[in-house]
Amino acid sequence: MLEQHFVRPQTVDRIRASWVGPAVEQYADWLMAQGYAARNLARRVPLLLAFGAFARARGAASLADLPAHLEAFVAARCGARARRGVAKEIRGPVEQWLRLVLPGFAGTRRPSQLLPFAEQAPGFFTYLRSERGLRPATLLQYTYHLHHLERYCERRGLATLRELTPALLTDFLVSRGASGLARVTVRETCGVLRVFLRYGHREALLPADLSLHVGAPQAYRLAHLPRAITPEEVRRLLEGIDRRAAVGKRDYALLLLLVTYGLRAREAAALTLDDVDWPHDRLRIPARKADHSTAYPLAPAAGAALVDYLQHGRPATKVRQIFCRAVAPHTPLTASAVAQRVASCLHAAGVRVPRAGSHTLRHTCIQRLVEADFPLKVIGDYVGHRSPAATAIYAKVAVETLRQVADGAGEEVLA
């Protein structure tokens, strides 16, 4: 009800007198239900009313006619030389409103939100899901790498996939490597390309199977040390969180779970209220990378941080995921958001580590277990590795044991 959002009756009357008034009222109720601050209504409702009046003056007769007038409205409000951010502030709320009141309206999307080669190879991602059975996280990797190929083709002026040649593919991969990507990432790009090119040849989108011409740089599994941090840096990281704010309570609980249990960002983001068994002090991690679940005893510190966040920091929302956005809309944190929050906290605490992110805390957890002389098989089971080989890299961080071997006590250590 508009009366709950606006004090002055004249304001309510003016909204309802508009031909888009009912749709604006629906949007106002939705905003408040999503947890938006009241100041958003004061800014957005007049904007929507102005858009409705603008569209009506241009001949709009129904809500379905509104999208056709959006760009003209943005241009009229911004002016020809307006900054890109100003146009976004106008277009964003209007498109959000239209998505609510017009089923099927998508609006403008960032290139990263569109599937690459959607027009030339429309069935590729359906093939990945249905025939190859790839997980959503893997599909995102395909989207990421193929977006770069799509932009490369645009820069080179290629109209269709049939114009791709082995020389162009080589040039693309060289440019990706020259951009500073790790060898493992370049190898991942090569794997994605081979799958895409084989599919293109199978569907007659390419005259030949160009996947045969895609090589990959050699990457050695044990060539690098895990990017763990020291116990002192962990302490500094946690102490740097301002737990007086709701976002601080959330980040503190999130960091404790990651460093205590070695969770992946995806696993932390997927945690729900149902995964915490409070009567038995248990924490369940479902749908791990190996398609199994793990149950842990709930550590007292992690449990206390969770209680503090759930009682005093988590916004009122119907979603079941534990970790949500602190500002509206209060949607669950994604895996990338978890990684970004960890990286931000590490930088704020002055902890320097290559490729800061959630895996930094995962590596830290595993290194502590290695230093405590747990068998690698036990460690692998604890953090959800699919095979013992995945845990073998952490044998390199057994510093004390390696030091004894270097000092000549190798036979006693290995015995």
Let me know if 362 is a catalytic residue. yes
Instruction: Please give the biggest Cα pair distance in the chain.
Output: 89
289 is catalytic: yes
Cα→Cα distances 248→234, 245, 311, 326, Å: 16, 5, 13, 10
Is 145 assigned a catalytic role?
no
> Is 318 an annotated catalytic residue?
no
- Is 206 in contact with 197 (CB distance < 8 Å)? yes
Catalytic residue among 5, 359, 363, 368: 359
Q: Known catalytic residue: 132?
A: no
**CA-to-CA distance for 267 and 280, rounded, in angstroms?**
21
Annotation says 394 is catalytic: yes
d(CA 359, CA 259): 9
First to last CA, the chain: 76
Which long-range contacts does 219-227 make (Cβ < 8 Å, 24+ apart)?
219/183, 219/184, 219/187, 221/393, 222/392, 222/393, 222/396, 225/396, 225/397, 226/363, 226/366, 226/367, 226/393, 226/394, 226/396, 226/397, 227/353, 227/354, 227/355, 227/356, 227/359, 227/360, 227/363
Q: Which long-range contacts (CB under 8 A, 24 or more apart) does 230-233 make?
A: 231/368, 233/349, 233/351
Question: For 103, which DSSP code?
Answer: T
Identified catalytic residue from 264, 266, 325, 341: 264
What six digits make up the tokens of 141?
Answer: 């990797």
- Using an 8 Å Cβ cutoff, are 240 and 345 in contact? yes
- The catalytic residue among 250, 314, 362, 368 is 362
Q: Which of 88, 129, 187, 289 is catalytic?
A: 289
Dist. CA 126–CA 201, nearest whole Å: 16
Question: Catalytic site residues?
Answer: 264, 289, 359, 362, 385, 394
